[in-house]
Amino acid sequence: MDKKKPVQLRPYTKTRYVYQKLRICKHCHNFTILWEDSCAFCKRQSLVPVMEFAEGMAKRSVQSDRLLFYIIGLSAVLLGQTFLQIAIAFACMLILLVWLWLIQRRMLDSETLHALDKLIRSHREQILDGLDLNKATASAAIKEDAQLGFEIVREIASLVRNDRIRLQQIVLLQSFSLRKDMDLELEPLLLDEFDPDLAAYIGEIAKIKRELINSKAIRYLLDHEADILRMEHGRQIMIDAAGAAVRKKKYIDTFPDFISRYADGLPRYRFLRLYQIVRRNPGLSWNGLRDRVSAIYNEHYRSDPDFQKWD
């Protein structure tokens, strides 16, 4: 087996909406999802976030509306035939302008989103061209520097969601020495089909970041259990995942048969967690899991002081 590479991954910034990752060139209106300084198309340093660009579009639209009000208001003032008419027209113009300013200020966010939607719809081809160029950049980077390649693919994956991108991430992650302090993810990488690299990755996640093992991850393991058990360390992957699952009672409620099949392989501290949950719920049998836990306890842990007497 190849030795895994220790890496220090670039911090990953998560956004509320995926399109917030996009940046647009103010000069040529091409797009990128990467952190590059210069536009890959025109080579100018004129890249800005799409939200910032859309806000500028919204503000220009607002200014046009405001200019129209100025023209109408000044026309009313100029058409006044007496001082009173001029004063009333001028006062009305000021009141309407203040009212318009307040309304526009309140509606700027919604106008920005409207401008963004219009921008994305009208520049679909440029966005796709930009992402294609980003993918080519990733492919070239992977050959030279796996870490940089992964960081690029991870950015692309925030907008492009398909199994090819997921597999690239999984294979690259499996070449790294993973640590608990890394910003790792699991659910977005799950595939429909069996993949040994994904199964191995789930096994590692189960050991270093148990909180990422959720119902979807467990269902993936169960859907491909036979294939995983044929892997060299397949049973250990299932055991580690079961050990991560027992951190919450809801997973025991949902997957009692899965937990039962691998309970005898759990490390002592994970079995202790399972034992405590089972003992606190004497009215639940979990389809025989309770009896299974009782048998393992009697065989291996009856004299262990950390285990309370079985009721």
- pLDDT of amino acid 12: 86
Whether residue 195 is predicted with pLDDT greater than 90 in this model: the reply is yes
Taking only the tens place, the pLDDT of each residue in 165-192 is 999 999 999 999 999 999 999 999 999 9
Could you state, in order of their start, the residue ranges of all structural domains in the chain? Answer: 1-177, 184-311
Give the dihedral sign, CA 114/119/122/127: negative
Dist CA 241 CA 221 (whole Å): 9
Pairing mode of beta strands 23-25, 47-49: antiparallel
Reported as a single tens digit per residue, the pLDDT across 63-74 is: 666 666 666 666
Q: Nearest CA to 200 among 166, 231, 157?
A: 231
The residue among 158, 69, 64, 61 whose CA lies nearest residue 113 is 61
Lowest mean pLDDT of 15-19, 150-154, 177-181, 286-290, name the range. Answer: 15-19
Task: Evaluate whether 252 touches 259 at the Cβ level (below 8 Å).
Answer: yes
Please answer whether residues 311 and 282 qualify as being in contact, where contact means their C-beta atoms are separated by less than 8 angstroms. yes
CA 300 to chain CA centroid, Å, is 42
**For the chain, how many residues are written?**
311
- Average pLDDT, integer, range 195-211: 97
Higher pLDDT, 78 or 183: 183
Q: How confident is the model at residue 146 (pLDDT cuts 50, 70, 90)?
A: very high
pLDDT of residue 142: 93
H/E stretch holding 274 reads helix 268-280
- Give the dihedral sign, CA 293/294/300/305: positive
Residue-wise pLDDT tens digits, 124-138: 999 999 999 999 999
| Residue 290 confidence (pLDDT) above 90 | yes
Mean per-residue pLDDT, 85-98: 71
Kind plus residue range of the DSSP H or E element containing 163 = helix 163-173
Whole-angstrom Cα distance, residue 16 to residue 156? 16
In the beta sheet, which residues pair with residue 177? 6
Task: Give the burial string for 59-89 (b: 16+ CB within 10 Å, else e).
Answer: eeebeeeeeeeeeebeebbeeeeeeeeeeeb
- Between these two residues, 166 and 60, which has the higher pLDDT value? 166
pLDDT-derived band at 80, boundaries 50, 70, 90: low
% of the chain residues with pLDDT over 90:
66
Distance CA 170, CA 197 (A): 7
pLDDT at 64: 66
Amino acid symbol at 81: Q
- pLDDT tier at 1, thresholds 50, 70, 90: very low
Residue with tokens 């026309």: 75
> Out of 58-67, 255-264, 273-282, which region has the weakest mean confidence (pLDDT)?
58-67
Burial of 32 (0-12, 13-18, 19+ CB in 10 A): buried
Question: pLDDT band for position 267 (50/70/90)?
Answer: very high
